[in-house]
Amino acid sequence: MSERRVLLIEDEPNIIEAIRFILSRDGWRVDTHSDGETALDTVRRKSPDLVILDVMLPNRSGYDILNDLRADEATRSLPVLMLTARGQKKDRDLAERLGVNRFMTKPFSNGEILATVRELVG
């Protein structure tokens, strides 16, 4: 089985390190990116099995990135787990309308992240 790859698009160093640690320990290769403006190019270049996407990023929102991922034939079916510190219903509804696979609010538990990633990639 080839190595499973996650692209984490997040700009908070403590969250990057926590997720990288949790997933690396489970055998995932974790690439990270922290700029919304160039995130789409990075997804195309890295071809991950899953994207973990923060809502609030520098230069471009996670919602805009998700919208672009779903509009592109090459990334339309790529699993996306969206993370946000703002868990209001309107945020969740917007993410679902744009085609997110799963929406998770911060703070999250290590087990919750791991279980969700495993489930989304299968």
Instruction: Return the pLDDT at 1.
Output: 52
- Enter the pTM of the model: 0.96
For domain 4-121, the CATH superfamily is: Response regulator (3.40.50.2300)
CA distance 101 to 120: 8
30, 24 in Cβ contact below 8 A?
yes
Give the tens place of pLDDT for each residue, 9-64. 999 999 999 999 999 999 999 999 999 999 999 999 999 999 999 999 999 999 99
Query: What letter would DSSP give residue 80?
Result: E
Half-sphere exposure of 7 (CA within 13 A, CB side): 24
CA distance 65 to 37: 9
pLDDT surpasses 90 at 87: no
What is the total residue count of the chain?
122
Domain boundaries, the chain: 4-121
**Distance (Å, rounded) from C-alpha 55 to C-alpha 86?**
9
